[in-house]
Amino acid sequence: MLQAISPIDGRYADKTKTLVPYFSEEALIRYRVRVEVEYFIALCELVSDSAHALGSTYKGQPAGSIADFTSFSFHAVKNFTTAEAQKVKEIERTTNHDVKAVEYFIKEAFDYLQLEKYKEFIHFGLTSQDINNTAIPLSIKEAMSGVYYTEIQFLIDKLQQLVAEWKDIPLLARTHGQPASPTRLGKEFQVFVTRIEAQLQSLRAVPYAAKFGGATGNYNAHKVAYPSIDWKAFGTHFVEKVLGLHHSFPTTQIEHYDHLAALFDALKRINTILIDLNRDIWTYISMDYFKQKIKAGEVGSSAMPHKVNPIDFENSEGSYQIDLIVSKENLTPLGVTYTCTSNSSFAKEKLTCKITYSKQNTGIQVEVPEAVEKLGGF
């Protein structure tokens, strides 16, 4: 990890490694492949032949219904390998388009499986955001259930254990930083349990929303190709029954992100509670209410050997604050414009530098006006 450019996958990699199967580049590719393949299978189940298309009729009777769908799981996707993800990245070097590279990767697999005549139904009628806006919420949902809720429950259980152990320990409470009336240590920690559990209720209520409706959200290409099929019903079934997400409809080309914003906001409130917890414990340590245990050979300070810095709680607080900043940035518009006025005599007008945050996580793009470049920048 010595070559890492971020503490997230460097110094704290052992803390974030459980998130790799959900949020790494390889994971994103795997989730995209999974959605594309599940979609193809759903199409196969939808139309065994043209006479049994969902919504079509035969002698005045429905030839198919939502009940005709069956559950399935594409097991091969679960065994998606790093080598296959690398193959997708190699294709992307040519396409310069990440979602298109996934489509071409699957089509190559169809060639290998001698399914060439069906491969044009891969990505049929879809736009990139139909894949992104299903793959990403699916990864978030599974990360929440597979990692987050387990970890937060572990914390709650630990706090509840301390509440029970310390329920009778008296403590001089402080208000405005000053000595106040007595309290009990267990009760002070119960405050955090109650706060976290209340916010978890709000967090669990947020649906994992997905957009699925073609280039502009209207199933235009689908309807033109197969006008007898109720594509809205198909899309809702695919998103909610197959992928287990909430189908946002109607939409534009992209998902609204309102539910995603609500999810981040709920996480932010829990992070704020945990920042308070860190600060309270830090304060208890500074007042000698708590003493820290150090490991053999551990150094408390580089200059003062008698001192043990409460770095675990400081690092934890800092990490939660980073989470708050990231959550906030996820909600900002794609185009954020900053203006400044140059003091140079060469500049006769206000110069604007536009900074754009890329949705594809390719970094930050900066558009610098030509006049600024001539001045040598800001």
Catalytically active residues, by annotation: 176, 301
State CA 10 to chain mean position distance. Answer: 20
Question: What span, in angstroms and rounded, lies between the C-alpha atoms of 100 and 84?
Answer: 15
Decide: 185 and 169 in contact? Cβ < 8 Å.
yes
DSSP state string for 290-326: S-----TT--S-SS-TT----HHHHHHHHHHHHHHHH
How many alpha carbons fall within 13 Å on the CB side of residue 108? Answer: 12
Angle at 270 between CA 200 and CA 328, to 5 degrees: 120
Cα-based distances in Å from 90 to 22, 83, 93, 94 = 21, 10, 5, 7
Residues 6+ apart with CB under 8 A from 144: none
DSSP state string for 36-48: HHHHHHHHHHH-S
Q: Residue 94 corresponds to which tokens in the numbers above?
A: 């040519």
Q: Residue 266 corresponds to which tokens in the numbers above?
A: 């709920």
Torsion of CA 171, 174, 175, 180, to 10 degrees: 70
Angle at 364 between CA 358 and CA 366, to 5 degrees: 115
Neighbours of 81 (CB within 10 A): 10
First to last CA, the chain: 35
DSSP state string for 150-189: HHHHHHHHHHHHHHHHTTT-EEEEEETTEEEEEEEHHHHH
